[in-house]
Amino acid sequence: MSGRRVRVPSLLGDPGVARARTPSRRFLFAVPPPARGGAGRVAPAAAVAAELARRGHKIAWTGHRPSLEPLLRSGARIFSAGDDATARLRPEGPDALRSLWEEFAVPLGHAMMPGVETAIDRFRPDVVVSDQLVLAAPVAARRREIPWATCAATPVEFTRPLADRPEDEERVRERIGGFQLDHGIDDLLDLRFSDHLVLVFATGALLGDVSFFPDHFAFVGPVLGRPAPCAFPWDRLDGRPAVLVTGDDSFGERFLRVAAEAVRDLAVQAVLAAPPGAVGEAPPNVIVREHVPRPKLLERMSAVVCDGGYGTVCESLSHAVPLVAAPIRDDQPVVAGLVERAGAGISVPFDQVRPDELRDALAAILADGPHRAAAGRVRESFAEAGGAAEAADRLEKLA
């Protein structure tokens, strides 16, 4: 790649041609290792795979076997691709949106290529379904002239997150193009967006105007994972408006203490998903639990404070619960911005936010109707989008 400049065409290609549905086809799902979201990226693909299996189709997986096995149904057929070293890759810092491709996706693609090719040759799929970050899968599929679909676990890449940094945006395109050249393909595509089918687990109500995307971009809405059973003292919820504070282990003690102080004088109860002792002496209206049954709990919540993780955002909006997002890293600022522009929440700075600022943000989404109404509109769009069933329908047509 050194010194080589590559121009990759725009994501807006011609729609792929749908094929006739057949009784039983074979689908190979390619997913990245846990450093890039773990269960959050696998869960939508697993739900779609389960729907396809229910319809009688054959399913196999390729990826980092040790991290995949706990996330899939017992007996799932897995072809190993990549190794423990690539499973630990994780871009950090202010350029994470660019280094996601340079320092993670491209090295991961090279490492996964032998395993993905073996999986395709042994399983002989009719369709390859690739997470956006697994560049090896579309390249291997193109080399064998097999239809492939993009599985976009988050909608971030559809917002052009680097649009205000055109040099970085072009640099990402060059790296993706260079990866294809390295593996013998000179008919370059933007591998983040299949020219056959792109499954986007979002809707226009959250993402914004999607009317300009071609027909092979399917906005099927989020597909939520199966909730794990978890005990909770339900009798402690006394009927006051309730707020859930959850950061998927990313909120440090400082932010948790700020959150506890922010709700102290509000006429609410707060449930903080935090380790014991992380908050110190919690106010009387705060329940601290290391683990919470989040999907079930959201049925009782009036607001959520989170880090902007896409899974938490989708779970909350699926219950029409507005949010205060305090994004920390990676694509969380982009997701938080989507929530704010959709009118379904407010974004606050994670590092500098003070208790009074967080209190004001919470009071705003608890007191007025527009945020809750916007969250309700997003929920309706999610319900109408079709989810796993719609994604399976589109994949059957592709096969």
Examine the pLDDT at 21 and tell me if it is beyond 80: no
7 vs 288, residue with greater confidence: 288
Examine the pLDDT at 102 and tell me if it is beyond 70: yes
Sheet architecture: strand order including 197-200: 78-80, 58-63, 26-30, 127-131, 148-152, 197-200, 217-219
83: β partners: none
Q: Which residues of 357-382 are buried (b: 16+ CB within 10 A; e: fewer)?
A: ebbebbbbbbeeeebbebbbbbbebb
SS3 state at 243: strand
pLDDT at 372: 95
Q: Could you tell me the pLDDT band of residue 224, with boundaries at 50, 70 and 90?
A: confident
User: Domains in the chain, start-ordered, CATH in brackets?
Assistant: 26-200 (3.40.50.2000), 234-383 (3.40.50.2000)
Examine the pLDDT at 16 and tell me if it is beyond 70: no
| Segment 368-386 mean pLDDT | 95
- Give the DSSP H or E segment for 26: strand 26-30
With 0-12 / 13-18 / 19 or more C-beta atoms within 10 angstroms meaning exposed / middle / buried, residue 70 is exposed
Examine the pLDDT at 15 and tell me if it is beyond 70: no
Encoded tokens for 310: 């896409």
Encode pLDDT of 249-308 as tens digits.
678 889 999 999 999 989 999 999 998 888 888 899 999 998 899 999 999 999 999 999
pLDDT at 276: 81
* Matching residue, tokens 């949106």: 97
pLDDT at 86: 67
Examine the pLDDT at 34 and tell me if it is beyond 80: no
- Give the DSSP H or E segment for 347: strand 345-347
| Average predicted confidence (pLDDT) for the chain | 89
Compute the distance between CA of residue 380 and CA of residue 344 in angstroms, rounded to an integer.
Answer: 13
pLDDT at 31: 95
Answer positive or negative: Cα dihedral of 54, 399, 108, 311. negative
Q: Are strands 26-30 and 197-200 parallel, antiparallel or unpaired?
A: unpaired
pLDDT at 20: 46
Q: What percent of the chain has pLDDT over 90?
A: 71
Q: DSSP alpha helices (H): ranges in the chain?
A: 39-54, 65-68, 84-87, 96-99, 106-123, 136-143, 166-182, 204-207, 253-263, 294-298, 310-318, 332-341, 355-367, 370-385, 387-398
pLDDT at 14: 42
Answer positive or negative: Cα dihedral of 257, 263, 269, 273. negative
| Segment 324-334 mean pLDDT | 90
Examine the pLDDT at 6 and tell me if it is beyond 60: no
pLDDT at 171: 92
> Quick check: 131 and 32 in contact, CB under 8 A?
yes
Residue type, 53: A
Examine the pLDDT at 177 and tell me if it is beyond 90: yes
Q: Of the ranges 101-105, 155-159, 389-393, which one carries the lowest mean pLDDT score? A: 101-105
Encoded tokens for 189: 């595509």
* Matching residue, tokens 């291997």: 140
